[in-house]
């Protein structure tokens, strides 16, 4: 599945963070599957996950008091109700993740609260899907291959961007 995801730069799992105008430490993420195949996005610590067919969207409401989190796409999943497994990004066999996904996985990471919100894409834990990530007032990050310049490749990278 990972090879299929990297075969075309136009197939993106789009994460758009609408952070402007929200109350302190709250955000809404709209996740759109622009891939030509089904993806199972997941989000922690909000404990979320769902099946997302091509063209589908999923809205994740991050509650006030949440300071940071991660969003990623899982591939090659098979679920029976709320349990199953995924070839990439699996989070302990749960549809709605409360644990981080297992590598390889492309991560969208966010920190909210204070005077600014921050976001980045990380491939430190590997790469499994093309991804774009932006906030309503910030730079759009795009990662379409494992060597993408917009992503963190190792912990000292300085690739975090501010919203607003």
Query: What CATH number is attached to the domain comprising 78?
Result: 2.60.110.10
What per-residue confidence (pLDDT) applies to 19? 42
Residue 10: is its pLDDT beyond 70? no
Residue 5: is its pLDDT beyond 50? no
How far, in whole angstroms, is CA 151 from its chain's centroid? 12
Token pair 């091509």: residue: 54
d(CA 126, CA 134): 20
| 124-147 pLDDT per residue, tens | 889 999 988 877 776 788 888 888
| 82-121 pLDDT per residue, tens | 899 999 999 999 999 999 999 999 999 888 877 788 888 8
d(CA 130, CA 148): 10
Provide mean pLDDT across the span 29-34: 89
What per-residue confidence (pLDDT) applies to 64? 83
Structure tokens at 101: 């996904």
Of the candidates 87, 69, 67, 68, the residue with the CA atom closest to the CA atom of residue 77:
87
Token pair 């197939």: residue: 11
Mean pLDDT score across all residues of the chain: 79
What per-residue confidence (pLDDT) applies to 51? 95
DSSP 145: S
Which phi and psi angles does 124 have, rounded to 5°?
-60, -40
The domain containing residue 154 runs over which residues? 2-163
What per-residue confidence (pLDDT) applies to 156? 60
Query: With contact defined as beta carbons under 8 Å apart, do 61 and 43 qualify?
Result: no
Q: Looking at the 3D structure of the chain, how many domains does it have?
A: 1
Query: With contact defined as beta carbons under 8 Å apart, do 123 and 115 qualify?
Result: no
d(CA 85, CA 142): 27
What per-residue confidence (pLDDT) applies to 9? 28
């Amino acid at each position: 599945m990972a090879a299929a995801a990297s075969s075309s730069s136009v197939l993106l799992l789009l994460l758009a963070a609408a952070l402007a105008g929200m109350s302190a430490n709250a955000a809404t993420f709209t996740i759109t599957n622009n891939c030509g195949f089904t993806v199972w996005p997941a989000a922690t610590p909000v404990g979320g996950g769902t099946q997302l067919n091509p063209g589908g969207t999923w809205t994740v409401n991050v509650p006030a008091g949440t300071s940071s989190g991660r969003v990623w796409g899982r591939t090659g999943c098979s679920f029976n109700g709320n349990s199953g497994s995924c070839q990439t990004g699996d989070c302990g066999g749960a549809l709605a993740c409360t644990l981080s996904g297992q590598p390889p996985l492309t991560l969208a990471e966010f920190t909210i609260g204070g005077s600014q919100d921050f976001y980045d894409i990380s491939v430190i834990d590997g790469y499994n899907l093309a991804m774009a990530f932006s906030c309503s007032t910030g730079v759009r990050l795009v990662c379409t291959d494992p060597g993408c310049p917009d992503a963190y490749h190792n912990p000292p990278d300085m690739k975090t961007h501010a919203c607003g």
